[in-house]
Structure 1
């Protein structure tokens, strides 16, 4: 029997109940994918569409980790900004990478449309809101991105922002009308169903225990199976174990937290009067959106280098919500949960080839919905020879994560971001 999803808003509202059998016996494949999150599922579906024999191994359930319990935001960009990417690779390659991130958004949107995934509950619009007066900088940035990339953006001044988000905290915002938010677990499960329909083999409760990656045929073993494949793809994210030491050393597992409020439509809509999701522009900020037809708020934020008790985090997240919207002081929290994301120190996805026939596609923390889609796509293209676009990510390789010191540095950096954000907000009062 398959292990259960953890208790989240998404697992409570998942719309289908199919499970996939554990892998058993000796299995021959063209490609073995280790990890059943959105990157692995995207790659599996594309490869299956191309006629490849695919075996996907998932330790728990399809989209069990960060892929199925995140905020559900889908927009262009990466966890680091365009200027940081330009400093590393130059303007031309940075533009190519940004265009790939835009393509990732469209891959998700197109897949929802083509497969008729109504239970993905796509809702258009994400607003990036500022808690300070940028004195024209935000509007200039909006116009610059429109010119450079053709993004469907609209600048919102203070009066319009505060009519939509009834809070004294916000000064201005950019509404990205081409972005959207959705139900990631239902989406991930739909990818698995379609891949299986196209004869891919998806196996839950099938942790990879050992691998042999030398030679023309690679061997991946589980408790009860041995898979022989020409290609192996690691898409394991924040839950990567010892199966791939090179990957585990190259990212930081970072915990993030989400809560769901009680059903209280009038109270909720007294504060938030838009179906667009809100992304707080603070580097240590919050993200939130209405769910259940506007009756509840799904509120995320906070990161730590350890997984704290979600009950304690729920109190912190609720405090953030009430500080932002005092009128929600009586709104109760119904459930809270956490999950591990994988972050590389350079804050870019890690997408590439370890050696011939051995691929990796991970480190999507902070901007995973579009980047998992494009990551899985370009890895599949590399395997089939359709393109070598995965090489655009080669400057952002498997740099050492710093070990324990890396985790401490990440936590201290986050606290520093919180202090800087608070100081900037104070100056705008």
Structure 2
């Protein structure tokens, strides 16, 4: 484990971000809109609400952007998890297409927003490559391509002989390429959103945990730190970090974890040799490994889904190391400079949700595809709260729960063990996991 000697547990994105100076602020006993969570969703929603005339304070139990918004891989796609045919059977063709096309509109919205606002976050249309970790996973990838083509998403099948055009890894038996999908620097995006929010008059209260949220009908009460607050409206923007602050929301969001590593600074030519097109890369495992060159082109960033305890990350590092070397034997002598964990929010429908529950607004449950979707749903939620429409194809979908589920996390280890088993079994039909 010498490769991890002296590593930092600060995410690379946070180490490289430069937040503007944020004036110290406190939460007042009466507030107009209180936003819980200072990641992408909270910042987008706060920005659009403030520009619409509302007085907004953003609270976070940690530092600004402390959660998954500075802990993800920076992948930008139009992907939504459910299968189109299954959705057509459930909702009919028009509704199903509209729901799954939300991902396409979300990516377009983020692309416009970055350009129009002059966001310096290394947004790049680099393309995404998904590689088959077993030969029998290619049929699932072909099905994935066909589904995306029906939604208007361009893609191509890549035979094994061409895999090296995208990634210099021995593990893939072919794959698919989505040329319009993109990447960015999550930390720099957070910093730019904070800059825009401050200019719009948003206040920030980091290290202020919100708890005991109760809807009183004509207002919401909660605790912000130890202060009792009465707010006209509240926004839940916590995704994978949703806790028991709202019992209603905690029953509807499942928290999933992964571990992300970044190498020490390398010769950019060596990084380019691994990623000739600077593409984002995934495999077809259910316990997926996702990776990329860093935006500055001098590191390799690798995320992998493994059993992890946030208070004992060292215990999972041997498996993380095996995954890294399975992917790139070329990294045998390269040290890992950063190791961090992150949690994404999943839902029982495998879809993100946006809407109003009484006086509480929410945009939540991105199922691992939140970089683009959070920009779109944060804007739409603000429009809903401002009374300016904000309709989406997701409206009316039930934010489901399950009997006896109250946010427990014991399921993580047995589920990941089951996924490990399936990842090593022959594929049954059109599956990529």
Report deviation, 1:107: 2.4
1:322 corresponds to: 325
Deviations 1:377-424 (A, max 9, x none): 222222123325357254341413754896444543332222222223
1:302 corresponds to: 305
Deviations 1:227-255 (A, max 9, x none): 54432211122323332111112222222
8 Å CA contact 1:218, 1:228 repeated in 2: yes
8 Å CA contact 1:22, 1:206 repeated in 2: no
8 Å CA contact 1:253, 1:305 repeated in 2: no
Higher mean displacement: 296-305 or 264-273: 264-273
1:312 to 311, 315, 336: 315
2:16 is the counterpart of 1:13: yes
Q: Unaligned 5+ residue runs, structure 2?
A: 1-7, 428-433
1:343 corresponds to: 346
Sort the Cα spacing of 1:316 and 1:86 in 2 relative to 1 into closer, same or farther, 3 A: farther
For the residue of structure 2 that corresponds to 1:25, the secondary structure is coil
Q: Distance in 1 between matches of 2:327 and 2:402?
A: 38
2:248 is the counterpart of 1:217: no
Matches within 5 A, 1:4-403: 7-29=10-32, 31-122=33-124, 124-133=126-135, 138-139=141-142, 141-146=144-149, 148-223=150-225, 227-265=229-267, 266-304=269-307, 306-307=309-310, 309-355=312-358, 357-387=359-389, 389=391, 392-400=394-402, 402-403=404-405
Q: Distance in 2 between matches of 1:185 and 1:210?
A: 30
Report deviation, 1:109: 1.9
Report deviation, 1:259: 0.5
For the residue of structure 2 that corresponds to 1:419, the secondary structure is helix
Q: Distance in 2 between matches of 1:351 and 1:196?
A: 24
For the residue of structure 2 that corresponds to 1:118, the secondary structure is coil
8 Å CA contact 2:120, 2:192 repeated in 1: no
Q: Distance in 1 between matches of 2:334 and 2:152?
A: 39
Q: Distance in 2 between matches of 1:22 and 1:242?
A: 25
8 Å CA contact 2:68, 2:343 repeated in 1: yes
Q: Distance in 2 between matches of 1:404 and 1:212?
A: 17
8 Å CA contact 1:258, 1:299 repeated in 2: yes
Q: Distance in 1 between matches of 2:211 and 2:238?
A: 13
Sort the Cα spacing of 1:122 and 1:314 in 2 relative to 1 into closer, same or farther, 3 A: farther
Deviations 1:138-190 (A, max 9, x none): 346425523x2222323322211134322332122222222111111221221
Report deviation, 1:273: 2.3
Q: Distance in 1 between matches of 2:98 and 2:403?
A: 26
For the residue of structure 1 that corresponds to 2:102, the secondary structure is helix
Sort the Cα spacing of 1:249 and 1:97 in 2 relative to 1 into closer, same or farther, 3 A: same
8 Å CA contact 2:41, 2:374 repeated in 1: yes
Report deviation, 1:290: 0.3
Q: Distance in 2 between matches of 1:117 and 1:405?
A: 35
Size of the aligned set, in residue pairs, is 418
Higher mean displacement: 359-368 or 78-87: 78-87
Q: Unaligned 5+ residue runs, structure 1?
A: none
Sort the Cα spacing of 1:236 and 1:145 in 2 relative to 1 into closer, same or farther, 3 A: closer
Higher mean displacement: 363-372 or 260-269: 260-269
For the residue of structure 1 that corresponds to 2:366, the secondary structure is coil
2:416 corresponds to: 414
Q: Distance in 2 between matches of 1:75 and 1:163?
A: 20
Q: Distance in 1 between matches of 2:414 and 2:125?
A: 35
Report deviation, 1:262: 1.9
Q: Distance in 2 between matches of 1:217 and 1:406?
A: 29
Higher mean displacement: 32-41 or 129-138: 129-138
Report deviation, 1:206: 2.4
Q: Distance in 2 between matches of 1:81 and 1:69?
A: 27
Q: What TM-score results when the alignment is normalised by the length of structure 1?
A: 0.87
Q: Distance in 1 between matches of 2:314 and 2:403?
A: 29
Q: Distance in 1 between matches of 2:347 and 2:133?
A: 28
Report deviation, 1:326: 2.3
